[in-house]
Amino acid sequence: MTTTSLLWPAPAVPTLAVRGQTSRAPVNRLFFVGRNYHAHAIEMGRPVDKASEAPFYFTKSPSALLASGARVPYPPGTADYHHEMELVVVIGAPGFRVAQADAHRLVYGYACGLDMTRRDLQLAARDKGRPWDLGKDIEHGAVISEVVPMPGAVIEHGEIVLQVNGHVRQRSDVARLIWRIPELIADLSTYYHLQPGDLIYTGTPEGVGPVRAGDRIDGHIEGVGEIVLDVAEADPA
């Protein structure tokens, strides 16, 4: 039997805690939906006309995942580090070119997520027509709670709230998603062969804003759970 020799240790596969289970969920890919609440699209200066537009996506590296409850240093290269509270769909079955009516069959469960963002870098890239990688694909920038198993379930409503230091910044309802969960799964599956362990961060409502070192972020999604992040001082140069 031949063994492969590696020049350095291979990265570990990220895994997520699952409520009520000792087994963990391995993660494959991280997809993020942009501008999926009308009020947020307006506050970002890019209103959405669903009749003439399709969902758009960006990705983050699986290594960006960070479990809820962590303390993370303020990231380098930005003076405008923002929170974005999101519902996360956890895919549990493979699918390609899935019909909306069948999309629920791919759902394993849900989690609370934070899409942490270097807003200044994101907007600078957007205005120049460049990719958002430096603004979005941040180390520790994809925060996630434990997974709540809900096989085949579609969440259609539920309050989504984020507080910073006890003050509400974001409050909306999942019912206000522009593209609902079956629509997102069906659309994304026309571009990718979705696989178990794929995560879909479904977009953030209005109220996004900056955080600073010393801030505490608390989020909640009705029927799903809680998420917490503490922001520490930046790492020394």
Q: Which residues contact 79 (CB under 8 A, 6 or more apart)?
A: 120
pLDDT, position 154: 98
CA distances from 198 to 31, 82, 108, 112, 147 (A): 8, 24, 10, 15, 13
Which structure tokens are listed for 164?
């910073």
Please check whether the domain covering 25-232 is classified as CATH 3.90.850.10. yes
pLDDT, position 121: 97
* Residue among 213, 215, 210, 217 at smallest CA distance from 234: 213
Cβ distance 109 to 147 under 8 Å? yes
pLDDT, position 3: 86
d(CA 160, CA 52): 27
Q: Where are the domains of the chain?
A: 25-232
pLDDT, position 116: 98
Please give the average per-residue pLDDT across 76-80, as a whole number: 97
Residue 131's pLDDT band, with cuts at 50, 70 and 90, is very high
